[in-house]
Structure 1
Amino acid sequence: MKIAVISDIHGNVLALEAVLTDLKLEAPDLVVNLGDCVSGPLWPEETAAILRQTNWPTVRGNHDRFLLDDPFDTMGPTDAFAAERLSQQSMDWLRTTQPTIRLDEDIFLCHGTPENDDRYLTEKVEGPKGHLPDEDTLARELNGETSPVICCGHTHIPRLIRLQETGQILLNPGSVGLPSYQDDHPQRHVMEAGSPHARYALMTNNNGAWNFQQKILSYDWDAASRAAQENGRPGWARALKHGFYGPLS
């Protein structure tokens, strides 16, 4: 059994297309999507049009939820850009996403933590950046979720963590479409993958034990960066081109 795990496309259809090409070569049995599908100053409708056809089990990310639930005049620019461009068909598809998904007794899918799509699981913000949390912090954020494998996104930073006490595996595949960003919650910080590549992960069941592979793919990130710049988001443009957000200002 081979499962591809993708997350945080953020409307970057060029990065998604690179992942789709690689998926044809890898031929997984299942692809799962951990959410934050379309928000961003890039190609929200083009991205949604592809995702509508995939039938992938898809978790509702925090930005997906903002698009569905928040009044337009309260949205930030990232979500408002997508909201203005998404078709009714794409919005209807977004409503089919689920807050969490339990694939089976072994695998649990969420966007942030099992109970909160807007909290980090595999990063802890200390100072201006995220860092690997200690095991006690991870256990608290799991809040009793006992699945042997828990897949999450939201941080855009790839992680594979094994908890010593329970043997649980936490997999964060990183971001397909946005390798770095700045946020003010819970305090001002940046997340930086350090390169502009599109990322996803593969997990393969080998006689009851899971093996994991991170996929790091080239695509035309210069074109994505230009699109973000043309759409008035220079921070996104730097992030897409370099994989670093740039100095806090």
Structure 2
Amino acid sequence: MKIALFSDIHANLPALEAMLKDLDARHVDAVYCLGDLVGYNVWPNEVIGEIRKRNIATLAGNHDLKVKKLVTTEHSLSELGKNYAYHLVDIDGRKYLATLPAHIRLEFKLNDDALNIVLAHGSTRSVDEYVLEDLDETYVLEMMDEAKADILCVGHSHKPYHRILKADDSNYKHVVNLGSVGKPKDGNPNGCYVILTLSQTSSVTDPSSVLVEFIRVAYDVERAARAVEDSPLPNEFADMLRNG
């Protein structure tokens, strides 16, 4: 089974369109989005619309959760600075974001044994928590045991990695950060998503039986950056896109 996973679009429609075009050519079996559809750019409604049109199961990211607390008036939009992006979300989009789940759990039965994948935006403990590659191993294993996760997939930091941890004498756990489709922070401006491949032989006892592929997708960065510069959003958001 091939499972596509992506996160942190941040209203960057050109990046999402390029990623989905690439994804469509790969014929995966399932697709999940780990949240942060909005913020930092001017196409939140278009991004939400594309995700909903494709019926992609999606988590609530920390930026998505900001939207439901907003009160917007027309005359205030040009004065909102970095918060302008959230106020662009229409009523239907706000209702959608407000009902997204915090986690998704996938339970597989392979080789007469369980293999559990847990999807979270930040971590299983908090939507705002960063699960960075160098986070204390004992802490990560405790969190994964608490969530009953053999494979933990997260976003939020915008920095992709695949980390394999020795859980005990015979079992291994995987932590996968998907990076970001619309706002990478690892020095590469190209969007990033993951294809996770499981087979009949995938097992918690064999770390090589779980395949993680990071896919980088080039897109029209200048179009996305100019959209920021032509809006009330801070120009530094455009520089972030260009620099990755």
TM-score (structure 1 length as normaliser): 0.82
How many corresponding residue pairs?
A: 220
Structure 2 distance, partners of 1:134, 1:86, is 37
Q: Mark the CA change 1:156 to 1:85 in structure 2 (over 3 Å): closer, same or farther.
A: same
- Cα displacement string for residues 191-222 of structure 1 (whole angstroms, at most 9, x for unaligned residues): xx111101100001122232110000100001
In the alignment, what sits opposite 2:206? Answer: none
Amino acid at match of 1:90: G
Question: Against the structure 1 CA distance between its residues 111 and 82, is the aligned structure 2 distance closer, same or farther, given a 3 Å change threshold?
Answer: same
The answer to whether 1:198 aligns with 2:203 is no
| Distance apart, 1:70 and its partner CA | 5.3
Say which of 101, 107, 110 aligns to 2:104. 101
Matches within 5 A, 1:1-249: 1-69=1-69, 77-78=81-82, 80-104=83-107, 106-123=116-133, 132-142=134-144, 144-165=146-167, 166-180=171-185, 193-207=186-200, 208=202, 209-231=209-231, 232-243=233-244
CA-atom RMSD in angstroms: 1.9
Rounded to whole Å, the distance in 1 between the matches of 2:68 and 2:144 is 26
Structure 1: gaps of 5 or more residues: 124-131, 181-192, 244-249
Alignment partner of 1:47: what SS?
helix
For 2:143 and 2:235, how far apart are their aligned partners in 1?
A: 33
Which of 1 and 2 has greater Rg? 2
CA distance in 1, matches of 2:138, 2:242: 36
Partner Cα distance (2:222, 2:19) in 1: 17
Flag the 1:174–1:168 CA change in 2: closer, same or farther, 3 A: same
Distance 1:143 1:40 in 2: 34
Q: What SS class does the counterpart of residue 101 from structure 1 fall into?
A: strand
Structure 1 residue matching 2:87: 3-state secondary structure: helix
Report the secondary structure of 2:60's partner residue. coil
Deviates more, 1:27-36 or 1:225-234: 225-234
Moved more, 15-24 or 99-108: 99-108
Separation in structure 2 between the aligned mates of residue 39 and residue 104 of structure 1, nearest angstrom: 32
User: What SS is found at the alignment partner of 2:172?
Assistant: coil
Q: Segments of 4+ in structure 1 off by > 3 A?
A: 69-73, 140-143
Deviation at 1:144, TM superposition (A): 1.7
